[in-house]
Structure 1
């Protein structure tokens, strides 16, 4: 409620404005008229410029009020607000309602802190990693080291930095090694529970083992996907779309190494020299509503694309979240080598 200390009536003078800034310590004053309507803002810089131009402390603030500052409505989501503030290099952003009344104040340093989230994250870590043998003969794929840490730890630490504290890890192949490494998650300051698959249940089937049923939407990630995605932004996008299921997708481009000939029967109709084909591919990261779990049969194999198709057949809204962030599916030995190099760059960019 400290934002209310920034309210300053339009009949105030510069000395009162300085006192307001000192009292609130928020580096901005929101000027309101007699009816409480927002009229503009004043910062320390505005006052200093006024004094340099010959104003006195007893002069009215009307000479220094910024009457067209950047403002936002109350319902704008955190991620959008944060990006607006960063792009416009502002540290305070007034929240103004439809009646032009101030109802809050966004602060950049507060928005930069990760929001603590009650939503949990499920990480699918039960695969055998057959394509990565011999690396996975005595080590589950999610524990293979990348830049000094297991892949699974990179995923957890990134989610932790974005406010996630509750994790569920599905295990099957050499699952005891994963449990021994992470334990309850106490050492990382998080809570980890495990879903143990007696037989491989696919990229979605293990979700049928979730007990108790989650009360809110949750993130699901494959345990071999390294990315700089913002899991918080993904979840908030899902909520804004009022979706039942959201799939993160990557743009994949492939260039045909040959010139393509277009024909109609025996007749040539055109040529394309080494054309590029673009398509969106499943990135292995999702957000699901609890209702989606009703489509799963307990202990039955199911892959995530099939689950999305079932949801669509039931009339549920399924959407994509287009990714542009660095992303790597570590499925083969050369992918593991790429991942080790890529993580060095991702840490700098992240």
Structure 2
């Protein structure tokens, strides 16, 4: 029970950026939206903010339009057993406790009581790429084994998942796979268990999943093994559960500025000129959470990448969701990315 919740309180006019800081510093995955006298108006989670970003809001927008106005609450007079039953029925991780005046006085956390810290969901890391764009660096070393911050990129990824409780790792390997296997072994030296799947030929970011059908029985992560990010994987997992899609793709915003004035024309008439407009897109971040049902859409023994898988799911009428990330993210594909990663590593990890 958290009785000191002052640091979790925000007002409806708080910015989404400030709310994220409250949620992250509070370490309980929630902010409590209150009025001027402390009466509970609603709750706000990381998922609410990400959905707001997908709707076109910015981090400077207020939380007024996105916070949840009818949260499940418990009274100060409720027993622990009663609160636990409410949480189990509603699949909640925490419940605000209010008094008779409707003022929030505490927050009851449920996670420690109903779920273990370690999760059984598997983490599939695609570590078989050639890394040709990095030239001599990958001539004798697979790209995931390049050192950034004095340790392999792949080690940083595995440690990040382990810190979130995901310790069952599957490595899909190909190029110079023996160097990866010799370094990590069965994973016991890194606090995880590692299984290896060998691609005898390049199968793409989704094709290799056809080799793992008997290994994946619950929602699982897939991630490219050449990424550096401090994304909270547990939040991605929770988002996937709450949205209940067959597949979730982590996406990040990409801005592109046209270096010229754009002229809008109807017939031969100039209707407007927009000087150097900025276009915003969401692009794939190379991180996914998939339900086992997607495996039936993955062909056997063929090259098949993630965009093709998502296209197929969409064509078949399956629900695929997006999880916008605002945290640090870097794809180490070129020499400049590798140099940048080493410059920034200590300030992020």
Instruction: Normalising by structure 2, report the TM-score.
Output: 0.71
Q: Which runs of 5+ in 1 are unaligned?
A: 1-25, 29-42, 44-77, 89-93
Q: Which of the residues 114, 117, 138 maps onto 1:115?
A: 117
Q: Is the 8 A contact 2:213 2:295 kept in 1?
A: no
Matching of residues 165-244 of structure 1 within 5 Å: 165-244=167-246
Q: Which of the residues 311, 321, 324 maps onto 2:323?
A: 321
Q: Is the 8 A contact 1:143 1:178 kept in 2?
A: yes
The C-alpha deviation readout for 1:135-159, integer Å capped at 9, x for no partner, is 1111000001101111111111011
Q: Which of the residues 54, 59, 74 maps onto 1:96?
A: 74
Following the alignment from structure 1 to structure 2, what is the Cα–Cα distance between the partners of residues 85 and 257? 41
The C-alpha deviation readout for 1:2-48, integer Å capped at 9, x for no partner, is xxxxxxxxxxxxxxxxxxxxxxxx686xxxxxxxxxxxxxx9xxxxx
Following the alignment from structure 1 to structure 2, what is the Cα–Cα distance between the partners of residues 170 and 274? 43
Q: Which moved more, 1:131-140 or 1:99-108?
A: 99-108
Offset at residue 87 of structure 1 (A): 9.0
Matching of residues 261-280 of structure 1 within 5 Å: 261-280=263-282
Matching of residues 13-162 of structure 1 within 5 Å: 82-84=28-30, 96=74, 102-104=82-84, 106-107=108-109, 115-162=117-164
Offset at residue 212 of structure 1 (A): 1.8
Q: Is the 8 A contact 1:85 1:108 kept in 2?
A: no
Offset at residue 96 of structure 1 (A): 2.2
RMSD: 2.9
Following the alignment from structure 1 to structure 2, what is the Cα–Cα distance between the partners of residues 86 and 110? 20
Instruction: Normalising by structure 1, report the TM-score.
Output: 0.70
The match for 1:6 is: none
Seen in structure 2, the aligned counterparts of structure 1 residues 145 and 273 have a Cα distance that, compared at 3 Å, is: same
Following the alignment from structure 2 to structure 1, what is the Cα–Cα distance between the partners of residues 263 and 177? 51
Of structures 1 and 2, the larger Rg is shown by 1
Following the alignment from structure 1 to structure 2, what is the Cα–Cα distance between the partners of residues 109 and 308? 32
- SS of the residue aligned with 1:299? coil
2:309 is the alignment partner of 1:297: no
- SS of the residue aligned with 1:312? helix
